[in-house]
Amino acid sequence: MSDKVYIYDTTLRDGAQGLGSSWTLEDKIRITNLLDDFGIDYIEGGWPGSNPKDKEYFENMKKVKLKNSKLVAFGSTTKAEKRPENDQQVVELVKAETPTVTIYGKSWDLHVEKVLRTTLKENLRMIKETVQFLKKEGREVIFDAEHFFDGAKANKDYAFSCIESAIEGGADWIVLCDTNGGSLPNFISQTVMEIIQKFGKIKLGIHLHNDLDLAVANSITAVIAGVRQVQGTINGLGERCGNANLTSIIPILKLKLGFELSQDISKLKHVADVIWELSNISPPRNQPFVGESAFAHKGGVHIDAIVKDMASYEHMNPEVVGNKRKIVISDLAGKTAIKIRLEELGLEADEKTVKSILDRIKELEKDGYDFEVADASLDLLILEEMKRRPKFFDVEGFTVSIYRSKDDDTHCLATVKLKVNGVSEHTASDGNGPVNALDKALRKALERFFPELKEMELSDFKVRVVSGSQGTGAKVRVFIESRDKDSRWGSVGVSENIILASWKALVDSIEYKLAKERNQMVIRKSRG
């Protein structure tokens, strides 16, 4: 059996069914090109017979020549009592002019009789004749046996006969689907081996959902058992609990098990990040392989060991998948962590300064600060302790007012007064909230002097109430994430007053951007 495993990406179709996932036509084309550059073998673009956007997508893709991938149009078998050539949704699959077509058909008798409301015999005819029709049209045909594993539990003979019908029709691939996501690895493995024993050298694939949080494990199990096509989505996007996560499956198959795959694995994190960004979903930091915390180290003992030998607390080199090691600076960190951060910044400091930085961090965290994701505030703190923090402007004051108009709408107005190189600036701006108004007023005052701020935007804002160290009253911690065309960074502010805490985080965010742009020798490694 070949060690080549083909990766079939259904992000644009199955992934789009997940809550929060919605892409424009331009997004879909961009994602297609991204996946093609990554080396995905099959890209399922959508269902051309189901909606106008997918139909337009396939029309646009006729003009695009993919380098590495086969574009796939997805649809279903013909309807009951209908010939494929007379079924418009099947005809649309042909009109899409993709080299490969995937059709799904029911393989669970419950679905055939209660959902399709037809006979078991008619369903077999629908499968066979649809495959035959598409093969006569010159297409590579993939048959997705929907609900196969539930079907095999309920009526194994019928589920297997559905596969047999697809084979008789000439299907190039048979893909076994755990559509409800309720199967366990031992049953997946056992069933795959049984099919191989019964049908011999057919090309088998697997399509799994993640309702038991086992889609990745089940996919790996299926490949070990003999399947050679894995269907899934980038970042595990999909309906309910999502689909099998290709972002984990690809590196496991390639790096841990030694299977041959076509993907350029060094681009894995970049692909994952772009998909999260276009989905407008904040990525989970603990996502394996590509998450911000996947190779993050916080405990002093761990950090010390990592410096001596990365294998002590890492299962692989993060750079292989395009990620990087992250040393988290906190009150648990030791001097080693500070020294590593200084090295990343291109700075050197004596032991006394290192201790001063560490003591300052511990003092601030005692008061409610948290620098784990506030890298901008951390770097500025380090520069401040070293007497190297750049000064771009002097704030003379700010105000925020909130008022309700006659039409019962709430309005926020902020004013900011500051000086840049002795030049005074006094601006005002409204916003949809006090922090938004402050941000706009501050930018308005500074953009005349620092035009690079126009490309910066706030991408996330979080507020948390934290207890003071003495327990005498609650403090508010505000975290702000900002981004520009090249990178993201976080800043933090703490105060009993939410407006003041937000102001501190805003100022740090802007000062970091200016330091990054205007003092490249000081902060030379911004985090992406």
Parallel, antiparallel or unpaired: strands 410-420 and 326-327 = unpaired
Under DSSP, the state recorded for 256 is I
> Which of 392, 272, 253 is closest to 323 using CA atoms?
272
Parallel, antiparallel or unpaired: strands 204-208 and 173-178 = parallel
State phi, psi for 438 to the nearest 5 degrees.
-60, -45
Which residue out of 207, 302, 315, 411 is catalytically annotated?
Answer: 302
302 classed as catalytic: yes
Structure tokens at 472: 């005498």
The answer to whether 491 and 509 are in contact (CB under 8 A) is yes
How many other C-beta atoms lie within 10 A of the C-beta of residue 315? 13
Under DSSP, the state recorded for 310 is G
In angstroms, rounded to a whole number, what is the distance separating the alpha carbons of residues 507 and 500?
A: 11
In angstroms, rounded to a whole number, what is the distance separating the alpha carbons of residues 223 and 510?
A: 49
**Please, what's the b/e burial string for 6-28 (b: 16 or more CB within 10 A of its CB; e: otherwise)?**
bbbbbbbbbbbebeebebeeeeb
Q: Say how many CA atoms lie within 13 Å of 262 toward its Cβ.
A: 20
Parallel, antiparallel or unpaired: strands 6-9 and 296-297 = unpaired
State phi, psi for 191 to the nearest 5 degrees.
-70, -40
Residue found by looking up tokens 């309906």 in the block: 239
In angstroms, rounded to a whole number, what is the distance separating the alpha carbons of residues 290 and 528?
A: 12
How many other C-beta atoms lie within 10 A of the C-beta of residue 175? 25
The answer to whether 74 and 50 are in contact (CB under 8 A) is no
Under DSSP, the state recorded for 263 is S
Structure tokens at 418: 């500051």
The answer to whether 442 and 510 are in contact (CB under 8 A) is yes
How many other C-beta atoms lie within 10 A of the C-beta of residue 317? 14
Residue 157's SS3 state is helix
Report, as residue numbers or ranges, the catalytic residues. Answer: 302
